[in-house]
Amino acid sequence: MVATPQRDSGRTDGLREVFESSYQKRNLVHLTTGSSVPLLKNTIWLVVRGMVKLGAVSIHGDELLLGLAGPNEPFGDPLTNVEAYEAITLCDTDLLCLSGVEIEQSPHLAMALMQAISGRYRQAEALLALLGLRRVEERVRGFLELLAQEYGQPCETGLRLNLRLTHQELASALSTTRVTVTRVIGLLRDEGWLSIDAQRHLVITHLPRATSTLRY
């Protein structure tokens, strides 16, 4: 199993303080579930609350899941060279819009963004490493572990994933098929590695709760 990145709680708290000071001075952009975030040139978006799915469309018309951005995580046109790049909210989301000029004029904000971007970089490396695993079951298990450790919320039985990704979106992230993902999730559920709660959220039952950072 590929190791998933761990968050430094001290560093995360420091980033949160810098970003929250920016929130207080600016109007936030609120988008409802399923909204497309406009990707503006020389502008970086920062998630304040909620979750954004980052993806693209291949030359064959297939949807690709490239990553996720949760609270205090940045995304935007300056951070990608992927064509047909898109950002879609997975739930009601509040965003902060930061211009390149504003970032250049604030060393503290620029440093905080650099650290946040490094976290997104580690997430991207973890996803690439998962694609190198031969067995699809290992890829699915590793991806759900990554999501739980990055965005899971502690509950009585483990770490609950409040974000909703379809089996097709999981398949596109892991270079497999929707049918295979559905079969693997069924197997993991049968062996007790995960469960599904009353709200149809996945709950990863085997991870220690201490590995999660509350994101909602």
| Closest among 58, 52, 5 to 30, alpha carbons compared | 52
3 state SS of 70: coil
Based on the domain organization, do 100 and 118 belong to the same domain? yes
CA distances to 18, 84, 157 from 160, in Å:
28, 31, 8
Q: Which residue has the tokens 């935007």?
A: 76
Look at the chain and count its residues. 216
81 & 163 share domain: no
Residues 154, 74 share a domain? no
Q: Where in the sequence is the domain holding 91, given as residue range(s)?
A: 9-130
The SS3 of residue 61 is: coil
pLDDT per residue as tens digits for the range 109-120: 888 888 888 888
Do 14 and 77 reside in the same domain of the chain?
A: yes
- Dist CA 139 CA 133 (whole Å): 6
Whether residue 2 lies inside any domain: the answer is no
Q: Are residues 170 and 191 located together in one domain of the fold?
A: yes
In this structure, the answer to whether residues 111 and 58 fall within a common structural domain is yes
**CA-based nearest residue to 76, from 92, 91, 60, 98:** 98
Measured in whole angstroms, the distance separating CA 149 from the mean position of its chain's CA atoms is: 11
Global pTM reads 0.76
Q: Residues 23, 48: contact at Cβ < 8 Å?
A: yes
Examine residue 4 and state whether it is found in any structural domain, yes or no.
no
**Together in a domain, 90 and 193:** no
Output the CA torsion 5→9→15→16 (10° steps).
120
Domain boundary residue among 130, 162, 186? 130
Do 93 and 164 fall into the same domain? Answer: no
Whether 122 and 143 share a structural domain: no
CATH code, 21: 2.60.120.10
What is the CA 191 to chain-centroid distance, rounded?
A: 26
Same domain, 123 and 187: no
Q: Please report, for the domain that includes residue 162, its CATH number.
A: 1.10.10.10
* pLDDT tens for the chain, residues 1 to 216: 444 445 454 444 555 565 556 555 567 899 999 999 999 888 999 998 999 999 998 787 778 888 899 988 999 999 898 888 899 999 999 999 999 888 888 888 888 888 888 888 888 899 889 988 989 999 999 999 999 988 888 988 889 998 888 899 999 889 899 999 999 999 999 999 999 888 888 999 876 443 444 343
**Domains in the chain, number:** 2
Three-class SS state of 117 = helix
Return d(Cα 123, Cα 7) in angstroms, integer. 11
Same domain, 67 and 166: no
